[in-house]
Amino acid sequence: MAVVPNDARLEIGHVHTTGAIEAHGVTKSYGDGENVTQVLKGIDLVIERGEMLAIMGPSGSGKSTLLGCLSGLDTVTSGRVIINGTDITNMSENALASVRNRNIGFVFQTFNLIGTLTAQENVELPILLNGKSKVDPSKRARELLDLVGLSHRRKHRPTQMSGGEQQRVAVARALANDPEVIFGDEPTGNLDSKNGEAVMRLLTDLKLQTGKTLILVTHDPNIAARCDRTVNMQDGNLTSEGVTEDHAPRRA
């Protein structure tokens, strides 16, 4: 499963790496003693820079847990996770938060917007939390809301917007600190087909125009078909992977 060759494996710390995100022997368990549940069972996976990857599998297969471990939102029980050449496995929470803020954007199924803030303020927030950013939060938020077609809604709060509009705000927020990797956990799961298509078109265009790495958990084969590659999960294991036909190398 897209394992890094032995001579290319990383040492602890920041060294040469072949992918934007790498997992090496990652396991994740919950509980203690006889009540331990192993959710991930030794995952080896490399996600290349600029790749759009779909993670598929039935409910309970470990998709969202894997996404959490790859993004640093969750800690691994054993194994290693590398983000842009940095081994995050044993980082403190403060250091991990800094890596996430610099390198990663998130788009969730439930939008996760702050209800008391306007669209503009929701997009500004990650920039304000990134104390080292020299970007003007207001200007950046306006630019991103324009990118997702919501300049006219920037003063509206989430309850004043449709689900599709809220998810486009969430995409703009994910881009606030110009991360190299975007994670999406069922990003169209709460949308109707029209709005789901609009969000997927936005994400696909984003990948093509900026070269960002996108990693999407999805149940939808139509979404997976738009990605460069799909990996399938079952009972905490990667069971198969494939290159989408449109992205496969052409034969002479």
Model pTM?
0.85
What is the Cα Rg of the chain in Å?
18
The answer to whether the beta carbons of residues 16 and 10 sit under 8 Å apart is yes
Percent over 70 (pLDDT), the chain: 88
**For residue 25, which phi and psi values (nearest 5 degrees)?**
60, 35
Confidence grade of residue 243 (pLDDT, cut at 50, 70, 90): confident
Taking the chain, what is the end-to-end CA distance rounded to the nearest angstrom?
Answer: 27
Mean pLDDT over residues 35-47, rounded?
A: 95
Q: Is the pLDDT of residue 137 over 50?
A: yes
Q: Which domains does the chain have, with CATH numbers?
A: 6-239 (3.40.50.300)
Instruction: Determine the average pLDDT of the residues in 77-103.
Output: 91
DSSP 203: H
- 3 has pLDDT over 50: no
pLDDT of residue 9: 36
